Chains A and B, each alone.
Chain A
Amino acid sequence: MDLPDYFAEYETSKTGIAMEPLQQFGPFVSILLIFISAAFTDNILLARFLGMCSCLGVSKNVDTSVGLGLAVIFVTACTAALNYLVYRHLLVPLGLEYLRLITFIMVIAAFVQLIEMVIERLSLTLYYALGIFLPLITVNCAILGVCLFMLNKPYGFVQTFFFGLGSGCGWFLAITIIGGIREKIDESGLPKGLVGPGITLIIIGIMSLAFVGFSGMIRI
């Protein structure tokens, strides 16, 4: 079986355009730009609509939103970097790029489980505070999304890490704002049919309109 090398194809066709603005800057500025674009212009929750189910479930108040958000930041940044290494140094040399999906999922699941153990050992308070959120992250599609998107970008290891970090921060920002709004909205009377996920989806829709304003600010 001869499968196309997605990575190489991408580099020749599109990266020429994509890399251009980045190459004007030094390494630090380019990392900053990657971070900001991942967090704002390409916000994973509001622009790409990923990680929606855990967002709907958990964004009832700010506290839980912050808890899950922080966990997502950490896991996204680390798994993006880990999966980058796995992809570049295992999958590509072996010609097994088409196994990236299942490989990434396994790496993410194992990593989350490892983190769960470490947190249980280090801080029981944090362990209880995160509770079910931590295992939930395993199936948070935002994290898998970040790992897959990074393949389409010509990033190096450090850049990938900051791309993951930025995406995580964007998700954190979005769910925290949604949590805050939902807390406020709980106090006001809502039409019965809108209570819960209904109004949350409307909030997310309006917020993503606001985030459209960022689009085009940075193109990388």
Chain B
Amino acid sequence: MNRLFNLPTLITIAVMIVFLPIVQRPVVAAEVLTLGIAALATNLLLGYTGLLSFGHAMFFGVGAYSAGILAVKFGFSAFAAIPLAVLITAVVSWLIGLVCVRRSGLYFIMITLAFNQMFYFIAYSWTSMTGGEDGLPGLRRPALIADQWSFYIFTVIVFLITIVLMKRFVDSPTGRILQAIRDNPARAAAIGYNVERYKLIAFAISGLFTGLAGAIFAFVFEIVPIDKIHLLFSGDIVFMTLIGGSASFIGPLIGAAFYTWLQETVSLYWDRWPMVLGIVFALVVLFFRTGIVGMAEALAQKALGKKAAKTASGEPAEARQ
């Protein structure tokens, strides 16, 4: 049997899990891992299926609000609220996917964007449930994971389970068929694969994991801020995915860490920190299409002075728009 992760990926994951809570507060480390789950999930669509969604804040938000509302309004514990929220998001993303996958290219992007706005306005106006503009406060972590460190360990466990499931998914027949659809949808159809059906599977699974990220995020700062369901946050998730490198499985996680680091450090000195984000993004898109991981791979190859083997099987190629 093939090994699930290659060595550099394993090292990256281990180093991040160990050092994140040392260089940052454990809650921030937990935030990085949850954003990482969202970015990795987004990459199932972007890198592996070739679909750019500007609607993933919607799934993150549905996960976060579902968990938050279940916990605050109905008294569910986090351990019950999170799985239920994942279930809800899975249903929502499947339904929305039914509409979205009928279109491709720009139209697909615009539909995801429109749905995202719709969900934002629901969150904005349904104040009795969502708290509207002020967000939904008042979540409480259960006693078992109440303090920062135990919550971080909880997040790590969920994170590890998630990436194992995701990697198995991309290495599965369906994962390979999705990459084929990304490369050449007409041929994939001629071979006998129902392209829309496979895109829907990718969409729903991507939404499901993004919802999981949102549900955990709700307990990171024990509040659901409304900006996490806003369109701009969809852009942020895409930013994390691309800056980390959509051509590698683990790249988006690095992107999520980089994004959080920018936010945590630059925002202390400058209110307009998103401008830095924008500049970095422009540079990546213009000069480093393969993101941080792509750059690191290129540097490593130079340093080793040899042409290392091309990306291993199961790694997505550079995403195309």
Partners in one complex: no
